[in-house]
Amino acid sequence: MSESLFADASKRLANAIKYVSISEDALEHLKYPKASLNVSIPVRMDDGSLRVFQGYRVRYDDTRGPGKGGVRYHPNVSMDEVQSLAFWMTFKCALLNLPFGGAKGGIALNPKELSRQELERLSRNYIEAIADFIGPDVDILAPDVYTNATIMGWMMDQYSIIKRQICPAVVTGKPLTMGGSQGRESATAMGAYYVIKAILPRFEQLPENTTVAVQGFGNVGAIIADLLQQAGYQVVAVSDSQGGVYHEKGLDIPSIRQHKQEHKTLKGIYCQDSVCDTISGETLTNAELLALDVDVLIPAALENQITEANAAEIKAKYIFEVANGPVTSAADKILAEKGTYVFPDILVNAGGVTVSYFEWVQNRSGLYWTLAEVNQRLQEKMETETRETWAIAQDLAVSMRTAAYIHALNRLGEALDAKGTRDYYVNGLVH
């Protein structure tokens, strides 16, 4: 992971700041994370050996409410990456008008190399290390890359053991039997689907005439591919970390998903097969998938997939960022010059944190909603903020990314300024 990831993430604000009326105090506040934690996590392995893993948690801002953000397990996890993700979460929560700030966490490891028992010990020990840093009113965890409902359940249970009381609201994305919400597992993909449905008709882009490529056939990428195919879009290519498959007439997404779900490792959590092995068609690399001549490209894997080095090769007309930070700021400029429309991560993938908010509300109230109620509330939230962001982009003649940051900055600025600004103290204003 590049050490400049946070610096690159911060550049997103440059184009937005000149369009907002925000105090210097608020801008100064948003330059730095509120708190960062780096912990060592000792784990007794199945063979009796001891390994120590590096874990992180960053609470970037909590002006609008407790921190909110996922925990990822990946070899490239670093403080720079986690801080960048927490930064993005700050603006994502403000953009969706959720009563949360931004946070993120992670552990540097390859989770596919650990057994189920080792993963459980790792997850519980991570909570032991950060328990004083999190809480239902302080910082709320959620699943992210290579974490899932089972892992979230372990984390919630461990926190409850430490606090000697049941604390379901400290973690979202839990199993339903432990206080999870209906629709949480599919929330990120559903939210992205609602954004795509709201945006493409504005360009008179009909489903039956639209080809789609999805990079990242994990939980989110697989669901969004399935949803789009059911809606009549032609999903012609998908890929995972091992490579991809392409068929010009469209893929059978349900059969690929079924194969991935059936062929799991003996450890029972992660798949071992590549999508390349699941269906006849032309195999291709992730780089080749990104450069396909399709209408819609959906990066749903990791950060920095489209950079200055390959942006000129992108042929898609529309890019919907389902992953966090898949397009760098340098690539944004190249894509804009090419006339490519990029719809930003802080809007497109915000369905996950929105339903996490719903789960947190349900945990606090003890009143639980049906799947239909969750999806209806999610659709209303995503469509409302998509419309408002689109209106800002049209009114100011700016990109959707800049419009999203303008929208979020306005909300963050109001919250930060409510605590007092330089003008308030210097001029003695009283309200």
What pLDDT does residue 302 have? 80
Instruction: Look at residues 159, 177, 195 and tell me which one is the last residue of a structural domain.
Output: 177
Q: What is the pLDDT of residues 377-399, one digit of tens each?
A: 999 999 999 999 999 999 999 99
Please determine, for residue 68, whether its predicted confidence score (pLDDT) is greater than 60: yes
CATH number for the domain spanning 103: value is 3.40.50.10860
Question: What is the span of the domain harbouring residue 332?
Answer: 187-348
Count of domains in the chain? 2
Q: In Å, how far are 105, 199, 271, 382, 396 from 9, measured between CA atoms? A: 17, 24, 31, 23, 22
Percentages helix, strand, coil for the chain, rounded to the nearest 5? Answer: 50, 20, 35
Range with the lowest mean pLDDT among 42-46, 178-182, 264-268, 373-377? 264-268
What residues form DSSP beta bridges with 325? none
CATH number for the domain spanning 192: value is 3.40.50.720
**Pair 242, 292 in one domain:** yes
> In percent, how much of the chain has pLDDT > 90?
70
Q: How does residue 274 score in pLDDT terms, banded at 50, 70 and 90?
A: low
- Phi then psi for residue 299, to 5 deg, are -75, 115
Look at 268 and 385; give whichever has higher pLDDT: 385
**Which of 189, 224, 214 lies closest to 275, judged by CA?**
214
Average pLDDT, integer, range 350-367: 96
Please determine, for residue 292, whether its predicted confidence score (pLDDT) is greater than 60: yes
Range with the lowest mean pLDDT among 32-36, 51-55, 121-125, 328-332? 328-332
59, part of any domain:
yes
What pLDDT does residue 420 have? 62
> In percent, how much of the chain has pLDDT > 70?
90
400, part of any domain:
no
Q: How does residue 272 score in pLDDT terms, banded at 50, 70 and 90?
A: very low
**Which of 134, 53, 145, 78 lies closest to 101, judged by CA?**
134
Q: What is the pLDDT of residues 305-352, one digit of tens each?
A: 899 999 999 999 999 999 988 998 889 999 999 999 999 999 999 999
Q: Which two tokens stand for residue 168?
A: 């379901």
**Pair 161, 247 in one domain:** no
Look at 124 and 279; give whichever has higher pLDDT: 124
**Pair 142, 193 in one domain:** no
**Pair 119, 193 in one domain:** no
Per-residue DSSP letters for 141-174? EEE-TT--HHHHHHHHHHHHHHHTS--GGGB-S-
Which residues, 6+ apart, have CB-to-CB distance to 279 below 8 Å?
245, 247, 251, 252, 255, 256, 259
Q: CB of 303 within 8 A of CB of 5?
A: yes
Q: CB of 70 within 8 A of CB of 143?
A: yes
**Pair 148, 235 in one domain:** no
Q: What is the pLDDT of residues 140-197, one digit of tens each?
A: 999 998 899 999 999 999 999 999 999 999 999 999 999 999 999 899 999 999 999 9
Instruction: Look at residues 151, 177, 203 and tell me which one is the last residue of a structural domain.
Output: 177
Q: What is the pLDDT of residues 415-426, one digit of tens each?
A: 887 776 666 656
What pLDDT does residue 130 have? 98
Which residues, 6+ apart, have CB-to-CB distance to 177 below 8 Å?
none
423, part of any domain:
no
**Pair 194, 337 in one domain:** yes
Q: How does residue 267 score in pLDDT terms, banded at 50, 70 and 90?
A: very low
Q: What is the mean pLDDT of the chain?
A: 89
377, part of any domain:
no
Instruction: Look at residues 153, 177, 201 and tell me which one is the last residue of a structural domain.
Output: 177
**Pair 102, 232 in one domain:** no
**Pair 325, 195 in one domain:** yes
Under DSSP, is residue 13 helix (H, G, I), strand (E, B) or coil?
Answer: helix
- Catalytic residue set: 104
Under DSSP, is residue 119 helix (H, G, I), strand (E, B) or coil?
Answer: helix
24, part of any domain:
no
Which residues, 6+ apart, have CB-to-CB distance to 71 below 8 Å?
57, 104, 105, 106, 107, 126, 141, 142, 143, 144, 147, 151, 155
What residues form DSSP beta bridges with 103? 59
